Amino acid sequence: MGIGVEPATFVLIHGGGSSAWDWHLVEPELRGLGHEVVAVDLPIEDDANGISEYADAVVAECAGHRRLAVVAHSFGGLVAPLVCSRVATELLVFVAGMVPKPGESPAEWWSATGHDDLGIALDTRREEVDAFFNGVPDRLVDAAFEHARDQGGANWEQPSPLRAWPQVPTRFLLCRDDRFFPPDFARAHATERLGITPDEIDGGHMVALAHPRELAERLHGFWNRRGD
């Protein structure tokens, strides 16, 4: 851990249509580095829920933990800043994440960021595998589809309750081989929305399944250097 560096509690937020299972290979790596881990299942299957309810679920799981580092993958990025505005947090990390503007709805994000213009097709399983799972072993791809969950979209037009950006040290980690959020798109997104130059890691969109040890080491490093 390094002299004088206290361990974190890493709060891991999964992406859209998914579950905490996405982090199951990263969790033991973080624990091996001395940290606590809380991986949250967002209540995505209930159409009555939206960003606020997702954040409520994460906040509830944070109870009793300290030295929080919130890590959000993909769609989870829309939830993470709201969590950080509700609980004391020492680090916020987007991993191939969607960065919201205050008051922006999930539906608005796609066109506002220019992602709609990329023309990425997700109509078949083959297209989904190509966009999300390049570099992931076949057995884990199959398991990911088994753990996938339907995500209700009734509240996608509802503006985010986030009103101001939380004052938390923030990093953005893009994936160099990402086909869903390609590197050029992710760099521009992080620069425009966060005003920072993103860090980079090898791997596709589902980097937590393809390179769990490397991802855990990067998160560990971000925690140790969060005051820089």
In a domain, 3, yes or no: no
In a domain, 151, yes or no: yes
pLDDT of residue 3: 37
In a domain, 118, yes or no: yes
Q: 2 or 162: which carries more pLDDT confidence?
A: 162
pLDDT of residue 207: 98
pLDDT of residue 4: 41
Q: Across all residues in the chain, what is the average pLDDT?
A: 95
Going by C-alpha positions, the residue among 198, 160, 219, 227 that lies closest to residue 36 is 219
Going by C-alpha positions, the residue among 73, 68, 95, 65 that lies closest to residue 20 is 73
**pLDDT tens digit string along 26-70?**
999 999 999 999 999 999 999 889 999 999 999 999 999 999 999
In a domain, 2, yes or no: no
In a domain, 176, yes or no: yes
Query: What does the pLDDT average to over 137-146?
Result: 97
Q: What is the b/e burial string over 48-66, where b = at least 16 CB atoms within 10 angstroms of the residue's CB? A: ebbbeebbbbbbebbeeee
The total domain count for the chain is: 1
137 pLDDT higher than 80? yes
In a domain, 38, yes or no: yes
In a domain, 4, yes or no: no
pTM listed for this prediction: 0.96
Output the domain CATH number for residue 85. 3.40.50.1820
In a domain, 88, yes or no: yes
Of 70-79, 134-143, 146-155, the least confident: 146-155
152 pLDDT higher than 90? no
Q: 99: domain range?
A: 9-224
Please report the DSSP string for 25-54 in residue order.
Answer: THHHHHHHTT-EEEEE---TT-TT--HHHH
